[in-house]
Structure 1
Amino acid sequence: MTAFQLFLLLVAGGVFYLFFKQLFSGDHPKRGVDFEADLPDEQIGGINRPDKTFSTPEVQPTRMEQLLEMTDEAVLKEDFEEAKKALGSALIIDENNTDVLQKMGYVYMQTGDYADAKESYEKLLSLDESDDMAHAALANVLHKLGEDEEAEKHHERAIVLDPEYAPHHFNYANTLYDLGRKKEALIGYTKAYELDDTLEEAKKMMKELGSDNE
């Protein structure tokens, strides 16, 4: 046996030794054992793509969320007809969705469809009678429709539900002012300004009505 052949024999012996050591050590990967992700939504790159990293899949918005986003974008552009279309589709998905009903009422108000706005706000209140914002909005709609007795009831209900919210007092004062009840309106404007002294319009109306009483 030549020296070169002896060298090859030694190398082969070393390789076999390392192979069998690894085989019986229990450290080698086992067939039939799946990778267990640390997080339930981890994505795993292929075995032949070690350059890939784990990532969390992007959560896609629901159809309802998409329609509400479309509505907001349309309102920002004052494209109220497009907003109505998006909200109409949303109501088909869920006719009792309070966000949709609130936005629909607002859009109808902007387009002068007061009867439709009234219907939206009444539906809101049928779902949640304690919604002070719906009471206030309905009161404004009823005033536009000339149903002032009912408007007053909803203004007062909104104030009872949240007496510290200045716009409720301000809106009621506006209705009273339109009805010629200026002394009562002055009380409302004064209360609104006491609660929120950034309401410059309330301050302006206080001065106007205060001078009328002098």
Structure 2
Amino acid sequence: MPQLYIFILALLTIAVIIFRRDFVVKREQKTEFKKQVTLKLVAFKKEEADSVVPTRFRDSHSEERKKQKFDFAKHKELVRKADVAINKEHWQEAKQFLIQSLAETSKELPVYLKLGKIYMESGDLKKAETLYMRLREIDPDNASVHEQLAKIYTKKKRYKEAISHYVKAVELDEASDETLFHLGKLYQLLMRYSLAAECFRRAAEKKPRNVDYLFLLAEACAEDDDYDNALFTYEKILTLEPYNERAETASQEVRMKMKETEIVISNITTHQHNGKTKEPESEITVEI
């Protein structure tokens, strides 16, 4: 009997030791888990703080630029030199002048717009797109930014995005006839002639004496088989420029197409009329 008590006591002792060991292990695991969570939390807060730094830097940079004294005469001269270099297609030289001019003005956006155009003209569409995308984030309602993005996407044959940005540019700057011109040319490229004609019509309304817009409008109407409006537009050009041979020749061609169309319609109508009135021939049966 005493041996049984000793055996039970030994089992209880072993159970207590195992329980305490498990308790200690679990406590250590919890401590380690809390430690890992704390480290991750500290790391996250550090990342969050680091992400705020650029914004704070930009804010402080903006404040510093407000206090900074600019040499506007120097800025103007550098931009003039950049324009001269652009006309000569000396892109690298033009970029250097523009970058230098940024240090002498508080109005950086026009310089960046010009810099983006240099990237485009020099064929670096990737840099141009990146720059204009950043400018769009800074000034989302700038019509010039949307127009330049549209030109980039047109060159990349991403026509849907190009149309979207042209339309946005037109909404933001309704007075711009050039944006309507470019949008119309894109619609013409895509053979959407009625939309192209509408763009050229609106551009011509803004510049009534611009015969180039009127020619584009007349051509788009003719391509859309809208010969009446095409002829009307050519006649309007001849009113502005009575001796314009191109308009005279084109108007005669449109008149010929109108006559051809009338003849075709007349023939179809006559054929349909004869088909209705003509009595069917009776079949002749021959008995053998």
TM-score, with structure 1 as normaliser: 0.63
Which of residues 91, 110, 115 is equivalent to 1:104?
115
Task: Work out the number of aligned pairs and report it.
Answer: 156
Corresponding residue number in structure 1 for 2:124: 113
Q: Residue deviations 1:146-177, cap 9 Å, x none?
A: 11111111111111112232112111111111
Which of residues 160, 173, 186 is equivalent to 1:175?
186
Corresponding residue number in structure 2 for 1:4: none
Point out 4+ residue stretches in structure 1 off by more than 6 angstroms: none
CA distance in 1, matches of 2:209, 2:87: 24
Displacement after TM superposition at 1:61 (Å): 4.5
Identity %: 25
Displacement after TM superposition at 1:78 (Å): 3.0
Flag structure 1 segments of 5+ consecutive residues without an equivalent: 1-58
Corresponding residue number in structure 1 for 2:160: 149
Displacement after TM superposition at 1:115 (Å): 2.0
What amino acid is the match of 1:113? D
What amino acid is the match of 2:118? V
Please show how residues 22-33 of structure 1 align to structure 2 within 5 Å.
Answer: none
Corresponding residue number in structure 2 for 1:73: 84
What amino acid is the match of 1:157? K
Displacement after TM superposition at 1:112 (Å): 2.2
Secondary structure in 2 matching 1:130: coil
Secondary structure in 1 matching 2:174: coil
Which of residues 179, 200, 203 is equivalent to 2:214?
203
| Structure showing greater Rg | 2
CA distance in 1, matches of 2:220, 2:144: 27
Tell me, yes or no, if the aligned pair for 1:101 and 1:123 is still in contact at 8 Å: no
What amino acid is the match of 1:124? L
Corresponding residue number in structure 2 for 1:54: none
TM-score, with structure 2 as normaliser: 0.48
Corresponding residue number in structure 2 for 1:131: 142
Corresponding residue number in structure 2 for 1:5: none
Matched, 1:166 2:166: no
Please show how residues 178-197 of structure 1 align to structure 2 within 5 Å.
Answer: 178-197=189-208
Secondary structure in 1 matching 2:141: coil
Corresponding residue number in structure 1 for 2:264: none
CA distance in 2, matches of 1:201, 1:169: 13
